[in-house]
Amino acid sequence: MKVLLLDGYNLIHRARHSLPRGFTGDDATVYSFFRSLRPLIEKFAPDKAYFVIEGYPKHRLEIAPDYKANRVRHDKDGFQAQKKKIVDLLKNNFPLTVVQHKDYECDDVLANLIKYRHCEDDCIVVSSDSDFFQLYNHHSNVQVYNPVRKAVMPAPEYDYVTWKALRGDGADNIPGFRGIGDKRATNLVLDEAALKEFLGKDESYPPLFERNRALIRFHDMSPEMKGVVYWDACNPWEDVRQVFNSMEFFSITNDKSWKKFVNTFVPLQQT
């Protein structure tokens, strides 16, 4: 079985910053999102598709209260309302399974879906977040597709979590080690003796290294994945068309385009 796992908010943010030329208004991000979703489903033709959304990063904030504290958020374009419209439409009308755990980030939930539900299936993760590269270190049945580069990303030749723990992650407010960039981090990961020597240079290094590893690696949610919520629904397509028409998505809902749009998702309704 081929399984497609979509990093939900990553794709919604991408839609926010890649609006089609000339399309503006209160629902521009909604339009951009659904306009880009159909080609992804068509490209990979999955038997099963998940749309995984964020929960509160409870466990990482317990480790580091300033985790992701550097992120600047604004709602000048009504983004939060548009994001809700997208998620509600997917939950109620589309043959994708929307998944969330209130205490875990999307990355953790997605990784655990692969580990415990689809370990023997062909899995394709769609996200521009490089943290998913660590999946390559543990699974031979996974590909990570970057929708910005429009390419499947190659597997790293090193342990990704160790590498990123050394260089840090500015986007998530995880400080790395002074003087360690991509190249030196790679050299250290590939040379166990050099890594041990480096971490022994300062007594503060080992705890920072382990802290970073705990923040970066996916958290195991156990086989039961207790607390994960799934939404499975698919209302008549005419309801979706009416909603799209109300938002003036006429380039999607005209007769020719609409038939293509619906037919792309029909195979998912049959699984």
pLDDT, tens only, 57-83: 999 999 999 999 888 777 778 899 999
Q: pLDDT tens digits, residue range 125-169?
A: 999 999 999 999 999 999 999 999 999 999 999 999 999 999 999
Q: What is the pLDDT at residue 270? A: 66
Strands (DSSP E) contained in the chain are 2-7, 48-52, 97-100, 122-126, 142-146, 151-153, 229-231
- Residues 194-199, mean pLDDT to the nearest whole number: 97
Q: What is the pTM of this model?
A: 0.94
Instruction: List domains and CATH numbers for the chain.
Output: 2-156+220-256 (3.40.50.1010), 160-216 (1.10.150.20)
**pLDDT of 75:** 77
Residue 73, both tokens: 């958020």
Question: Does the pLDDT value for residue 234 go beyond 80?
Answer: no
Q: What is the mean pLDDT of the chain?
A: 94
Task: Mean pLDDT check: name the lowest of 46-55, 65-74, 104-113, 189-198.
Answer: 65-74
Asked if residue 170 has pLDDT above 70, the reply is: yes
